[in-house]
Structure 1
Amino acid sequence: MNPILYISLAGVAACLFFMFGKGGRSMRWTGNLLVKLILGALALFFLNAFGTAVGYHLPINTVTVSVSGLLGIPGILMLIAIDIFIIG
């Protein structure tokens, strides 16, 4: 899907949370999740930036960003292990 569509849906969801939901609690949860996903994407970006020196690349997609964002460093290490030992 188009990235602009994702951003638009996120904006509509945020507006609906403000209008109909319990704004403080749900927006705090949504904001924390969004920050974690952004940090996960940045971590994967820097991993790929420094990994090119040794010939390593881990794709950045919704699954890898979600795993690295929600699980942090152990999630990134798990993705590297899966990529090296299982996928090959």
Structure 2
Amino acid sequence: MDPILYISLAGVGVCLFFLIGGGKKPFKWAGGFLVRLIIGALALFFLNAFGSVLDYHLPINLVTVFVSGILGIPGVLMLVAVDIFILL
């Protein structure tokens, strides 16, 4: 199928969602998820800032931000462990 058809169907679905009144709960959930992703990106930034003293760098990309955002500090530690023990 054509990608424009998918985009149109998604747009119609969003419009119907707003017209029917989906409530505030999905927006609250999405906002909380976005805040966690931002905190995960900041954690990786500070890890890289303090890791530059030890010549250590962990790339900040979509996968690492999702892992650190969803799992928190244990996720960041897991990323460091994978980087040190498996990738090096």
RMSD over aligned Cα, in angstroms? 1.9
Could you say which residue in structure 2 is the equivalent of 1:39? 39
Could you say which residue in structure 2 is the equivalent of 1:5? none
Could you say which residue in structure 1 is the equivalent of 2:7? none
After TM superposition, which residue ranges in structure 1, 4 or more long, deviate above 2 angstroms? 16-21
* Cα drift, residue 22 of structure 1: 1.7
Which has the larger Rg?
Answer: 2
Seq. identity, %: 62
* Cα drift, residue 40 of structure 1: 0.2
Could you say which residue in structure 2 is the equivalent of 1:28? 28
Could you say which residue in structure 2 is the equivalent of 1:19? 18
Could you say which residue in structure 2 is the equivalent of 1:74? 74
Name structure 2 gaps, 5 residues minimum: 1-10
Instruction: Name the TM-score, length of structure 1 as normaliser.
Output: 0.77
